[in-house]
A and B are shown apart, each in its own frame.
Chain A
Amino acid sequence: MSSIVIVLFDGFAFGMLLFVLSVGLSVTLGLMNFINLAHGAFGMLGGYAAVTAMRLLGFPFLLALPTAFLAAALLSIVLERTLFRRLYGAPELNQVLLTIGMVFVAAAIATYLFGTVQQVIILPSWLRGSVEIAGMRFGVYRIFLIGIALIVTALLVFGLERTRLGAQIRAAVDNQRVAKGLGLDVEKIFGITFALGSGLAGLGGALAVEIVGLDPSFGFHFLVYVLIVVSVGGLGSITGSFVGAALLGIFDVAGKYFWPEIGSFLIYLLLVAILFVRPLGLFGKR
């Protein structure tokens, strides 16, 4: 019994990591119809930013996390202005080719700057090890991950539903022409949305280093997981990403626990099954 609780907990924590990494893509893909396969590369950038900030500037871990967010967000603004913006109305294939090409470029730049070696994050001692609750041991860092993901979800839901910017984003997505006609600066709103999504990927990348490590192939490794989360959850839905990521994490860990021989395929079966029943994902709207 206690092992099942632990397995569920571990799976949920892994899912929350995937959620932070992928929610930005769900937003940009769903709201702006832009297929950004370079999303994982922003995660990688966040990871490297956090590692560099800690190693060279001596930042504590908790300060390195916002640094990773800012670094990814700022770079994404530059790239959005110079590259992505040109392809907003372009066919999907053009978007896919440009963004997957950028992942290759990002991997080469990371290799040039940081080498091929695995990067290490040294956590403060209070985030290491595990705590015992009711006779079960829970990893402290995984509890921390879940906490961060819940805060991010709350902020996003609140921001989109209750703030002026959130209302503007929803308006711009629902009907661009009317929004423009009402005097909203739609381009700027999309720019901010994009930066926010990339920044979250950067945060996810920084959080992921401790669990899965960081090297120049990070952008490719996580692309598959991120795309699964987005398609299971449904485009543009924060709730969808949350549920999709949690399902993916729990199924992945539980599958490996109960059926280790086939465990790593279960998530793909789950993906196929869900898309059969709901082609738009669990919470897809269009």
Chain B
Amino acid sequence: MKTKKIIALLGASLAWTTAGYAQETVKIGVILPYSGPFADAANQLQAGIDLYIAKHGDTVAGKKIELIKKDTGGPAADVAQRMAQELVVRDGADIIAGFALTPEALGAAPVAEEAQKLMVVMNAATSMVTEQSEYIVRTSVTIPQVNYALGKWAFEDGGVTQAYTLVSDYGPGHDAEKSFSAGFTEAGGKILGSDRTPVANPDFSAFVQRVKDANPEAVYIFVPGGAQPAAIGKALVDRGLAPPATKILAQGELTHPEALASMGETARGIITTFHYTLERDDPLNKEYVEGYTAANNGREPDLFSIGGYDGMHLIYEALKKTNGDTSGDALIAAAKGMSWQSPRGPMSIDPETRDVVQTVYIREVQEVDGKLQNVIIHEIPDVKDPLH
């Protein structure tokens, strides 16, 4: 009898403490490919999240922020779905976030929908991601957003009338090819030819030779980050397909800092489109880059970092607006239409599509103070995803 009482008492006190605990914290489940071929993207994104928390404290609206990390190991929709389920059911997560890769976001979306949890997509850049649930909001970029703008710009301001496209043969590559071609041909340009390279392609020489045979004014490229940007950049220039004779157009990954270092002089004149530019002269950006490099052994932030950083900003601001209410409906209502100044520039969340609206920067690789970097040559404000 006595022991029963004690057990009951223990149970009651335990229940009380966990209830008290739950009131005091907001649990954010972060789903990312921390290991495997995309581990670098996950690390950079996580560093962006960590920097935001370090800067703004880990308490919002009287509640403590707690991160629970889950590793998908790569583009696996089923793994991401299982992890989202575990986060919501077992760990009691209030918000799910992360998603470097589109399959991860697609896998987790049904869970967010069913559990009515806010889902913050911090990278996955395929257009359709935000259409999967009313609770999804994106703080990164979409591929059509930046590439449609580039296609349009290339004809209207870039003086290019015909071009060849060369993209990686997978979802994002197809999106990029389609949106660049659409922007370019709608403006009046002509696509001479289109090739797709295998996703894991060690040597680009054959494809580059095909481009050379077509002799275009410009070649448009989309390859995943990592080793390929430098490899394809060098393959192009080795064959004399180089600016100013042939313009090279691409999404920003092609000239990220490591690729620039590897390409050296050959990168000069490459034109890229992106939402984040490391060297952009802006006090907010300067502070962000300094804080980031100091916290990461001198490694510079990239597109993944800024997606994570702004994703945390959105979560913090939404929690402030709802006064700590973590229900999915309250948070998504708070997120809709939110606008702020990010290190990348002005950005906002479209109240209709819950997708990111931001400035698209057209940059050219130029020498500044003896160092090659991406110099902004044109800005297109308030760009929405053209496919929604």
A residues adjacent to B (C-beta < 8 A): 3, 6-7, 10-11, 14, 111, 115-118, 120-123, 128-130, 137, 139, 141-142, 210-217, 221, 225, 252-257, 260-261, 263-264
B54 located at the interface, meaning its Cβ lies under 8 Å from any Cβ of chain A in the complex? no
**A221 contacts across to B, CB distance below 8 A:** 200, 202
Given contacts A3-B212, A215-B40, contact A122 B261 (CB under 8 A): yes
Contact with A along B224-252 (1 / 0, CB 8 A): 00111011001001111000000000000
> In the complex, what residue of chain A is closest to B34 when comparing beta carbons?
A116
Min CB distance A114 to B, Å, is 11
A179 to B264: give the CA distance in the assembly, Å: 54
Are A128 and B43 interface neighbours, CB within 8 A?
no
Are B205 and A14 interface neighbours, CB within 8 A?
yes
Are A3 and B209 interface neighbours, CB within 8 A?
yes
**B203 contacts across to A, CB distance below 8 A:** 10, 14, 211-212, 252-253
User: Which residues 259-282 in B have Cβ within 8 Å of A in the complex?
Assistant: 259, 261-262, 264-266
> In the complex, what residue of chain B is closest to A213 when comparing beta carbons?
B227
> In the complex, what residue of chain B is closest to A117 when comparing beta carbons?
B40
Q: What are 22 A-B pairs at a CB distance below 8 A? A: A7-B205, A10-B205, A10-B209, A116-B39, A116-B40, A118-B259, A122-B261, A137-B239, A137-B240, A142-B238, A210-B234, A213-B226, A213-B227, A217-B37, A253-B203, A257-B207, A257-B210, A260-B196, A260-B197, A260-B207, A260-B210, A263-B198
B213 located at the interface, meaning its Cβ lies under 8 Å from any Cβ of chain A in the complex? yes
**A255 contacts across to B, CB distance below 8 A:** 206
A122 to B43: give the CA distance in the assembly, Å: 25
Are A7 and B206 interface neighbours, CB within 8 A?
yes
Are A263 and B206 interface neighbours, CB within 8 A?
yes
| Contact among A11, A141, A213 with B228 in the assembled complex (CB-CB below 8 Å) | A213
Are A253 and B40 interface neighbours, CB within 8 A?
no
> In the complex, what residue of chain B is closest to A140 when comparing beta carbons?
B238
**B228 contacts across to A, CB distance below 8 A:** 213
> In the complex, what residue of chain A is closest to B242 when comparing beta carbons?
A129
Q: Besides A115-B299, A118-B259, A213-B230, 13 other CB < 8 A contacts?
A: A10-B203, A117-B40, A117-B299, A118-B227, A121-B262, A129-B237, A130-B238, A211-B203, A214-B227, A217-B37, A252-B206, A256-B206, A257-B209
B258 located at the interface, meaning its Cβ lies under 8 Å from any Cβ of chain A in the complex? yes
How many pairs of residues, A versus B, come closer than 8 Å at their CB atoms?
110
> In the complex, what residue of chain B is closest to A139 when comparing beta carbons?
B238
Given contacts A3-B213, A116-B39, A137-B239, contact A254 B262 (CB under 8 A): no
Tell me how many residues of B have a C-beta within 8 Å of chain A: 38
**A111 contacts across to B, CB distance below 8 A:** 39
**A215 contacts across to B, CB distance below 8 A:** 40, 226-227
A210 to B212: give the CA distance in the assembly, Å: 22
Are A130 and B240 interface neighbours, CB within 8 A?
yes
A116 to B258: give the CA distance in the assembly, Å: 12
> In the complex, what residue of chain B is closest to A259 when comparing beta carbons?
B206
A168 to B339: give the CA distance in the assembly, Å: 76
| Interface-centre pick from A116, A129, A130 (highest chain B CB count, 10 A) | A116
**A254 contacts across to B, CB distance below 8 A:** 206
A139 to B242: give the CA distance in the assembly, Å: 14
A120 to B238: give the CA distance in the assembly, Å: 18
Given contacts A213-B227, A217-B37, contact A116 B43 (CB under 8 A): yes
A255 to B209: give the CA distance in the assembly, Å: 12
Min CB distance B72 to A, Å, is 15
**B226 contacts across to A, CB distance below 8 A:** 118, 213, 215
Contact with A along B70-110 (1 / 0, CB 8 A): 00000000000000000000000000000000000000000
Are B207 and A120 interface neighbours, CB within 8 A?
no
**A225 contacts across to B, CB distance below 8 A:** 202
Min CB distance A218 to B, Å, is 9
Min CB distance A259 to B, Å, is 10
A261 to B202: give the CA distance in the assembly, Å: 16
Are A213 and B205 interface neighbours, CB within 8 A?
no
**A141 contacts across to B, CB distance below 8 A:** 238
Contact with A along B186-204 (1 / 0, CB 8 A): 0000000001111011110
**B266 contacts across to A, CB distance below 8 A:** 128-129
Are B206 and A10 interface neighbours, CB within 8 A?
yes
**B36 contacts across to A, CB distance below 8 A:** 217
